Structure 1
Amino acid sequence: MVMKQANTTRSTHVPVIIVGGGQAGLSASYFLQQENIEHLVLEKNTLMHGWKHERWDSFTLVTPNWQCDLPGHPYTGDDPDGFMNHAEVVEYLNAFAEKVKAPVHEGVTVYSVSCDTKGLYSVATSEGNYTADQIIVCSGGYHIPVIPRMAERLPEEITQIHSAQYKNAAQLPEGGVLVVGAGQSGAQIAEDLHLEGRKVYLATGDSPRVARFYRGKDVVRWLDDMGYYRMSVDHHPLGKNVRSNTNHYVTGRDGGRDIDLRKFATEGMELYGLMTDYQEGELVFQPDLEEHLDTADATYNNINSRIDQWIEQQGVETDEGPSVYKPVWKPESERTRLNLAESGITSVIWSIGYRPDFSWLDASVFNGQGHPQHQRGVTGQPGLYFLGLPWLHTWGSGRFSGVREDAEFLIDKIFAYQEQLDEHCADQGVECQKITESA
């Protein structure tokens, strides 16, 4: 069937519609094409928009290049143990898009998706209406940048941006910078500003950290050898709760290294606990900085200890023996208030994450926090799937390393379901409609 252009009076029917044109959406398209299943990718911006426009200039992957394994497009460069920078990631993804050649409509906003009693999906978009037998949601889980209401009370002269908007130190006015949140993005942005000579104030949280290298190898390589990245969410000690965990902070910058907030403190960065309020010209923090640092270091040492145990069990020979991180700095006291004007802070970067927004999807598949409930991307509603979410099935599900296997698994399910639909049409002795009148 040749798809026809949608208009306001008729709905174009496509067997499968993919919402989102990132690595997940194109991975799904890759396998759908292999199975000759007609489909369409709807992308509200452009392909790989987030990777191209929502990363800072000094961004690098925190996972080594050898883990980049998109469908039909593994990393083939000359630095498998290195970490692609922003430009290299975009080049890698552009090459993937060129290989896939997905049937994509860019600049198309999906307004709503709903399902009737017969299982037919209606998709209202900015270019017209569609119907589909099956929907794959590949729009990710990071939709609305979180900025707390206290931000409204900060002085107007303070520049405020979310981490998704940060590019480099030059975009900010002269003066100190407060980074709120020390997760993977916040810690790396704080480092970037620190290396550029800016005075940085960092409000920490309970983010864990991990070593970059340990006993002669990248920790990612050790964990891969140990089978961690093949562990499904169903067998993880934390179960599905692992999906809400904050990513460990580390960096691939300059060949990869640890991020040690304590070391930054010895070099002039000011660290604080969780920021909770702004009152009468002062920022207010919880007295939990030391707890945050100790907990992060405990995670760091625990991961290394598990590597030590595995090395011993497997009889692996290494040039380096076990070691334990020892703090290079400790806070003399817990500072719970900071006068904003006296500090010289002129900018605030909010790096406290995102919240999901699937308000356009009318389906009873969400929990109380707005996250979809599923089993490896398969929801309880027939014909509705999710792909590319963190820990959809394994650690790599939301990354270049695991989306391929998840996509292949889902397309097998989709192919089987499509066969059932075709058999149903044949049993009824009718030809399934491809173009249906809109309501």
Structure 2
Amino acid sequence: MSGPEEVPVVIVGGGQAGLSVSWFLVRDGVQHVVVEANTAAHEWADSRWDSFTLVTPNWHCRLPGYAYAGSDPDGFMTREEVVDWLAGYVASFSPPLVEHTRVTSVAEHEDGGFTVTAEGPGGVRSWSAAQVVLATGGYHVPIVPSWAPSLDPSVAQVQSADYERPDQLPEGAVLVVGSGQSGAQIAEDLHLAGRQVHLALGDAPRVARTYRGRDTMTWLAQMGLYDTPVASYPGGLAAREKTNHYVTGRDGGRDIDLRRFAAEGMRLYGMLADGAGTLLRFLPTAESALDDADRVYNSICRDIDAYVEREGIDAPPGSPYEPVWRPGSETTTLDLAEAGVGSIVWAIGYRPDYRFVRVGAFDGSGRPTHTRGVSAVPGLSFVGLPWLHTWGSGRFLGVAADAEHVADHVVAAVRGDLAAPGVGRS
């Protein structure tokens, strides 16, 4: 391997967040590279199931210099449409991408700056940079219970990121573990395909798809919820650990009502506690999980009611959600063999894995420490994290503002002017 290539800025990750930072650097004439382990924005094609749609309206899709311009702003793009839209973004400004090259190390120089080492088709390659922007997101390693290997090997175990379609799974019933956005939508996908679904509920909240004549997320955007800084949000920085509300954009968009699915035959359980062989044990939390999810649903509707009244908006009347089904009792065990369960889909989240970053910018749990993406380590920034600054940070709607803030800081540092306009703005 020859010596490191000199470049002012290295962006690690070519998803929408890294590309957005690149757009600002291209605009400002700052030399940089975007190093991507696969291809630009590949996760939209590789980590979403066949029937996937966005859960936010298409008008939310706004990246720097590039916004959704289709004929259905209030609709929900399919996976293929999102992939095509992002391909158009890449073509719109031709970022300096280095694809199929995985970064294996980011290390500090003793005298400042970083060495970024990567492996690609041509072997090992490295860059020496004053600024590094980590844009790999926060969902790296799927969470699986430590006891999962002790389950009967005849039961297939699939990660939500690897789920594609119902007929991909072995015959028989399916246990989906987790009721966040992915788990709830995958359970719906299987249920609509006629599969017997068992669903272990977590503590995810839910939200109405539409309320009082508009998409709920359009209301929330108008109300400024997506722009509220995390430090000002109820609970403060703890909001970063919250699970997103479940809802779907499928078939034009609708609520996901797990109670209705249960009335149609889906089996609901509380949180999965442990298991071995074919026997699983659940906590008796199904009813409380459903009640809590509905409580959030109705709370958001009440917030919209208050906003409509306060602003004098002419909108159709609304009404609270009333449960269509309640569990008669809590089922706390499941024998996979007796129930004919042939597969388990794990959808209980991810944990970050920044072990390749040999820089002291993480807390005790391995999560980045930063202020709106800028770490305390000179030259190291993050972008593309959920709740990086606002609720919108993890969505297309908020990426541009976060990317601009980080890019302003990077450009000022490269040019030696940390007091440049825009740097540190709220």
If the length of structure 2 is used for normalisation, what is the TM-score?
A: 0.95
**Structure 1 CA distance for aligned equivalents of residues 225 and 146 of structure 2:** 39
1:102 aligns with 2:95: yes
Find 1:81's aligned residue among 74, 79, 82: 74
Tell me which residue corresponds to 2:416: 420
**Structure 2 CA distance for aligned equivalents of residues 91 and 222 of structure 1:** 27
Tell me which residue corresponds to 1:25: 18
Residue 151 of structure 2 contacts residue 276 of structure 2 at CA under 8 Å; is this kept in 1? no
Displacement of 1:322 in angstroms is 3.0
**Structure 1 CA distance for aligned equivalents of residues 230 and 272 of structure 2:** 32
Deviates more, 1:245-254 or 1:270-279: 270-279
Residue 42 of structure 1 contacts residue 110 of structure 1 at CA under 8 Å; is this kept in 2? yes
1:285 aligns with 2:282: yes
**Structure 1 CA distance for aligned equivalents of residues 179 and 208 of structure 2:** 16
Residue 142 of structure 1 contacts residue 354 of structure 1 at CA under 8 Å; is this kept in 2? yes
Find 1:267's aligned residue among 264, 267, 286: 264
Tell me which residue corresponds to 2:115: 122
Deviates more, 1:233-242 or 1:304-313: 233-242
Runs of 4 or more, structure 1, over 2 Å off, are none
State the one-letter code of the partner of 2:407. I
Find 2:230's aligned residue among 230, 233, 239: 233
Find 1:381's aligned residue among 357, 377, 380: 377
Tell me which residue corresponds to 2:63: 70
Find 1:61's aligned residue among 54, 65, 70: 54
Displacement of 1:421 in angstroms is 8.2
Tell me which residue corresponds to 1:150: 147
Tell me which residue corresponds to 1:5: none
1:34 aligns with 2:31: no
State the one-letter code of the partner of 2:73. P
Residue 137 of structure 1 contacts residue 386 of structure 1 at CA under 8 Å; is this kept in 2? yes
- Secondary structure (helix, strand or coil) at the match of 1:389 reads coil
- Secondary structure (helix, strand or coil) at the match of 2:358 reads coil
Q: Rg bigger for which structure?
A: 1
Displacement of 1:71 in angstroms is 1.1
Deviates more, 1:43-52 or 1:350-359: 43-52
Tell me which residue corresponds to 2:161: 164
State the one-letter code of the partner of 1:130. W
Tell me which residue corresponds to 1:366: 362
Displacement of 1:280 in angstroms is 5.7
Displacement of 1:281 in angstroms is 3.2
- Secondary structure (helix, strand or coil) at the match of 1:338 reads strand
Q: How does 1:391-430 map to 2 (within 5 A)?
A: 391-420=387-416
Find 1:300's aligned residue among 279, 294, 297: 297
State the one-letter code of the partner of 1:10. G
Residue 29 of structure 1 contacts residue 100 of structure 1 at CA under 8 Å; is this kept in 2? no
Displacement of 1:117 in angstroms is 2.7
Residue 159 of structure 1 contacts residue 348 of structure 1 at CA under 8 Å; is this kept in 2? yes
Residue 152 of structure 2 contacts residue 277 of structure 2 at CA under 8 Å; is this kept in 1? no
- In the alignment of these two chains, the number of paired residues is 414
Find 2:250's aligned residue among 250, 253, 262: 253
Tell me which residue corresponds to 1:136: 133
**Structure 1 CA distance for aligned equivalents of residues 97 and 417 of structure 2:** 24
**Structure 1 CA distance for aligned equivalents of residues 113 and 380 of structure 2:** 11
State the one-letter code of the partner of 1:52. A
Change (3 A) 1:333 1:38: same
**Structure 1 CA distance for aligned equivalents of residues 406 and 54 of structure 2:** 26
**Structure 1 CA distance for aligned equivalents of residues 267 and 413 of structure 2:** 56
Render the CA deviation track for 1:185-230: whole Å, top value 9, x for unaligned.
0000000000000000000011100000011111011111111111
**Structure 1 CA distance for aligned equivalents of residues 293 and 102 of structure 2:** 40
**Structure 2 CA distance for aligned equivalents of residues 350 and 388 of structure 1:** 24
Residue 9 of structure 2 contacts residue 32 of structure 2 at CA under 8 Å; is this kept in 1? yes
**Structure 1 CA distance for aligned equivalents of residues 60 and 4 of structure 2:** 41
State the one-letter code of the partner of 1:308. D
**Structure 2 CA distance for aligned equivalents of residues 83 and 237 of structure 1:** 29
State the one-letter code of the partner of 1:17. V
Render the CA deviation track for 1:256-313: whole Å, top value 9, x for unaligned.
1000100000000000000111146311000111010000000000000111111111
Residue ranges of structure 1 left out of the alignment (5+ in a row)? 1-7, 423-439
**Structure 1 CA distance for aligned equivalents of residues 278 and 373 of structure 2:** 47
**Structure 1 CA distance for aligned equivalents of residues 6 and 293 of structure 2:** 51
Find 1:10's aligned residue among 3, 14, 17: 3
State the one-letter code of the partner of 2:182. S
State the one-letter code of the partner of 2:314. E
Render the CA deviation track for 1:359-392: whole Å, top value 9, x for unaligned.
0101111112211011110000111000111111
Render the CA deviation track for 1:314-350: whole Å, top value 9, x for unaligned.
111212x231111111111111111111101001000
Tell me which residue corresponds to 2:349: 353
**Structure 1 CA distance for aligned equivalents of residues 322 and 208 of structure 2:** 13
Deviates more, 1:287-296 or 1:403-412: 403-412
